[in-house]
A and B are shown apart, each in its own frame.
Chain A
Amino acid sequence: MRLLWDLYATWFKMGLVTFGGGYAMLPMIQREVIEKRHWATEDEILDYYAIGQCTPGIIAVNTATFVGYYQKGVIGGIIATLGVVSPSFIIITIIAAFLNNFLEYQIVIHALKGINIGVCVLMVKAIMGLWQKSIYNIGSFVIFALALILSLFTGLSTVILVIVAAVLGIVFSKLKLVKVEGDQDA
């Protein structure tokens, strides 16, 4: 019961302070899920993101379901997901009911501009953390650079990019150009 409540409360907090989308949630996931609760490692979160990219649904929700499922099975997945969507439900309902001109208040516009700066700050640090762990040699850098260029400058769907990265992963593993999990004990 206690764990279910923790799952709900933690993911509620995540939904409440994330502006943007699933990826903007990363700094909060690093702090709350990885460092504070030890519900997942950074590597596992990247796995969930990778899977979330090529499976249906919203990435934030998929990640919540993953983390919840591994803590407390099916019910854990459901509770974590309900946690992450609850703030949206409450806030949007209030806005839709009473504040249809919400975006016309000057103070809201100023605060949002400031909040966006805050999100940028958090993302820089989050990306630096991931970078140090995941871009460790020329092979991983090539995959990273290719994916970045293709996603910024072409309209290729992410699903295709994921498939390309997967193929490169297999090829580069054979050439010992990337580190493969579990290799050291083999």
Chain B
Amino acid sequence: MLSTYLSLCIEFFKTGLFSVGGGLATIPFLKEMAEVYGWFDLDTLSMMIAISESTPGPMGINMATYVGYHTGGILGALLTTLSIVAPSIIVITLIARFLKEFKKIKVVNEIFAGIKPAVIAFIIAAVYDLFISTLFNVDAGLSFDLFNIPCIIIFLVLLFIYLKKPKIHPILIIFVAGLCGVIFSL
């Protein structure tokens, strides 16, 4: 059992260290763990991905916790969660320490001036699938059914309210939207 805990720590530290980008980048690492260690099968992995996507929190962390719990109980969950964030803490702390110095160099600021508009594109690309799957019935093909009318109406109403009253807390929007989902059986 001790060796399982140790392997969990090492594997998730590796995942944290080598998965660049977001939560989805961790999936190939998890697939490999399923194959090498047999901690879970690929069906279980699909279920864990679905649950990680539909519960609060960063998806990569959710998956780490889930795999950890599935494999080694609460202690396993604790170890995997801490292991996957440890590389981030180390790397980012080092970068943060020198970032202010770097930003005094002209070319670094030029680089950031180029990356910033791109980051907005990455953000849009990251939520693009969510928009499509939430507001459209993708499998309906090119017909009137393509538009998920109830969802689009709720989306537009909430958006209108939120843009008119920007002081509303984001949590309230999430809560009301979830409530609408239940009330209208979306």
Q: How many angstroms from the CA of A8 to the CA of B155 in the assembled complex?
A: 32
Contact residues of A: prevailing secondary structure: helix
Q: Given A113, A118, A141, A170, which contacts B117 in the complex, CB threshold below 8 Å?
A: A141
Q: Given A65, A124, A148, A169, which contacts B121 in the complex, CB threshold below 8 Å?
A: A148
Q: How many angstroms from the CA of A146 to the CA of B125 in the assembled complex?
A: 12
Interface band, chain B:
35 or more
B1 CB within 8 Å of chain A: no
Contact A81 B69 (CB under 8 A): no
B50 CB within 8 Å of chain A: yes
Please name all residues of chain A whose beta carbon is closer than 8 Å to the beta carbon of B179 when the two chains form the complex.
111, 114
Please name all residues of chain A whose beta carbon is closer than 8 Å to the beta carbon of B122 when the two chains form the complex.
23, 49, 53, 147, 151, 158, 161
Contact A122 B118 (CB under 8 A): no
B27 CB within 8 Å of chain A: no
Contact A15 B57 (CB under 8 A): yes
Contact A23 B57 (CB under 8 A): no
Q: Given A110, A121, A170, which contacts B173 in the complex, CB threshold below 8 Å?
A: A121
Q: How far is the CB of A113 from chain B (nearest CB, A)?
A: 4
Q: Given A16, A52, A110, A145, which contacts B57 in the complex, CB threshold below 8 Å?
A: A16
Pair count A-B, CB < 8 A: 367
B124 CB within 8 Å of chain A: yes
Please name all residues of chain A whose beta carbon is closer than 8 Å to the beta carbon of B96 when the two chains form the complex.
65-66, 69-70, 77
Which residues of chain B from 156 to 170 have any CB-CB distance to chain A below 8 Å in the complex?
A: 158-159, 162-163, 166, 169-170
Contact B170 A88 (CB under 8 A): no
Q: How many angstroms from the CA of A28 to the CA of B169 in the assembled complex?
A: 9
Q: How far is the CB of A110 from chain B (nearest CB, A)?
A: 5
Contact A103 B56 (CB under 8 A): no
Contact A147 B118 (CB under 8 A): yes
Contact B20 A118 (CB under 8 A): no
Contact A31 B119 (CB under 8 A): no
Contact B128 A181 (CB under 8 A): no
Q: How far is the CB of A108 from chain B (nearest CB, A)?
A: 8
Please name all residues of chain A whose beta carbon is closer than 8 Å to the beta carbon of B182 when the two chains form the complex.
107, 110-111, 114
Please name all residues of chain B whose beta carbon is closer than 8 Å to the beta carbon of A125 when the two chains form the complex.
159, 162-163, 166
Q: How far is the CB of A57 from chain B (nearest CB, A)?
A: 3
Please name all residues of chain A whose beta carbon is closer than 8 Å to the beta carbon of B186 when the two chains form the complex.
110, 113-114, 117
Q: Given A17, A24, A50, which contacts B127 in the complex, CB threshold below 8 Å?
A: A24
Query: Residues 1-38 of chain A: 1 if any B CB is under 8 Å from the residue's CB, otherwise 0?
Result: 00000000000010111111111111110010000000
A41 CB within 8 Å of chain B: no
Task: Name the CB-closest residue of B to A123.
Answer: B127
Q: How many angstroms from the CA of A145 to the CA of B125 in the assembled complex?
A: 11
Q: How many angstroms from the CA of A89 to the CA of B130 in the assembled complex?
A: 24
Contact B126 A19 (CB under 8 A): no
Q: How many angstroms from the CA of A184 to the CA of B34 in the assembled complex?
A: 54
Contact A120 B155 (CB under 8 A): yes
Spell out B's residues near A (CB within 8 Å): 16-24, 26, 47, 50-62, 65-66, 69-70, 74, 77-78, 81, 84-85, 87-89, 91-93, 95-97, 99, 103-104, 106-107, 109-128, 130-131, 133-135, 151, 154-155, 158-159, 162-163, 166, 169-171, 173-182, 184-186
Instruction: Please give me the 8 A-B residue pairs with the lowest Cβ-Cβ distance, nearest first.
Output: A169-B114, A114-B181, A118-B177, A57-B88, A88-B57, A147-B121, A165-B118, A147-B118
8 A–B contacts from the bound complex (CB under 8 Å): A31-B170, A51-B99, A57-B19, A92-B52, A93-B74, A157-B21, A169-B115, A178-B113
